[in-house]
A and B are shown apart, each in its own frame.
Chain A
């Protein structure tokens, strides 16, 4: 296949283009020089060591972990409610209601950021904190959780729950003994994806963060200082590896879920 070969070369070039910026992070994270340019100056791990001594960074990591974990739990719970309702029940205005819940997926994040800022600060007179960031992040992560969990719930044969009831379980018992175990991979996957999105999200956090910055907000501040760049690269390397691990685990659980319910694998998170 001649046509296939041409496309394959193009595809590989495209993958290189996709990975090029990400690949630079580890390269310069281990480079023994403050200027980010070729040729490389030699191998060092000092930027990683330096990370250990920055207190502000540790605070930011703690803040981000708090925000990301809280967001992941809240969005996944909301996701379970919405996905179960959408896959199992018919109710009035269903399309509109689910549409509203999914809207943040296509809304520019800056709109979400300023709208929440206006409501919280200008109209309600509350002060910003990590919780206001959690509010914003939960809003944008919920649609992802709904999408993942809907796939899990829809993949379930509805007669499985009926079979459990037929064999003597109550409706509640059937949900906990049959449905929940079968959507657990979806739940884990939704938790991990929401966590990853929240951990990386910058613009909403930028608008809604108070005196305690999240990690991306802290990073944003550091990008202005050229001498801090190698440390940022080291931090970036760690974040990329962390994201990779989380995603691989999420994908593993998603596929296991697909296999378990016997549904067809449609691939990807979308």
Chain B
């Protein structure tokens, strides 16, 4: 009834609908923007001569370069901030919350992530604005005399907002990694004469690293391509590469240039991620 050969056939047959969908709507479109990035826009038509001119421009034009570097810098800061601030929370839930209440904590942490992203970003604009909640409150309390201006329409605002938006994404993988740690390992370390801090550094942290690595990538990769936050709270100095991609496609009507920027951004992000994974490989080895 079920020869190994038959099993492979059944498996492939079963997986084929989502597979065909992913090929047609993911692999083919990604292939098409790669192709398009090698063409050039000629007013309303495409010049289909293959050329790397768009890529040359993407990497040499100072505007594109600034946007790309800024996107990476903002993403890097967001990632660092979320991971640093999230680790203690994950640690707290894993080590200091009673087992029967852990699920509740995780649920509480996850909820804000599922509420409208657009509205959450917008709420930060309301909080950080010139006449915003933060300024009016601080003025009202007499803590400041004039509204603070360095907190909206710049890169700082983008970092704060994105760090907030991606917080649950960082906590969960770290929490899962911490939960997997056999508690007797920590007792063994104490038993072998290490104090709590050294035990944390020599046992807990290395074992939690797979979660930290996952969290880092989960935040870094999508934030580089974020569009909404720079537009709402970034101001001219907080614009990122996704905004330029959108402008190329929908306003300048230069899809090939937009594609080249998108592909470049994706390649750079992939390269950085792979480099990061390579550097962290020591922590990711399968432990017996």
Contacts and interface: CB of A to CB of B under 8 A. Distances in A.
A168 interface: no
Interface in B120-178: 120, 122-124, 126-127, 129, 131-133, 136-137, 140, 164, 167-168, 172-173, 175-176
Contact of A243 (B12, B116, B221, B228): B116
A172 interface: no
B255 A118 contact: yes
Contact of A240 (B30, B115, B131, B140): B115
B225 A109 contact: yes
B164 A21 contact: yes
Contacts of B172: 268, 270
Contacts of B224: 108
A54 interface: no
Contact of A104 (B26, B92, B196): B26
B17 A81 contact: yes
Contact of A114 (B136, B226, B228, B258): B258
A36 B132 contact: yes
A108 B32 contact: no
A37 B130 CA distance: 10
A114 B118 contact: no
Contacts of A108: 221-222, 224-226, 242, 265-266, 269
Contacts, number: 259
A115 interface: yes
A268 B106 contact: yes
A21 B245 contact: no
Given A22-B112, A38-B133, A111 B119 contact: no
A267 B102 contact: yes
A183 interface: no
B157 to A, nearest CB: 13
A229 B115 CA distance: 18
A17 B164 contact: yes
A38 B131 CA distance: 9
What DSSP secondary structure best describes chain B's contact surface? Answer: helix
B89 interface: yes
What DSSP secondary structure best describes chain A's contact surface? Answer: helix
Given A100-B23, A239-B115, A243-B116, A115 B127 contact: no
Nearest to A193: B114
B14 A81 contact: yes
B8 A90 contact: yes
Nearest to B105: A11
B116 A236 contact: yes
A15 interface: yes
A233 B106 CA distance: 27
User: Is the interface on chain A under 10, 10 to 19, 20 to 34, or 35 or more residues?
Assistant: 35 or more
Interface string A1-33: 101100110110011011111101100100000
A81 B21 CA distance: 12
A115 B29 contact: yes
Contact of B118 (A15, A101, A119, A200): A200
Nearest to B250: A207
A153 to B, nearest CB: 11
B285 interface: no
A108 B229 CA distance: 14
A239 B32 CA distance: 36
Contacts of A37: 131-133, 136
A246 to B, nearest CB: 8
A138 interface: yes
B204 interface: no
Contacts of B4: 90
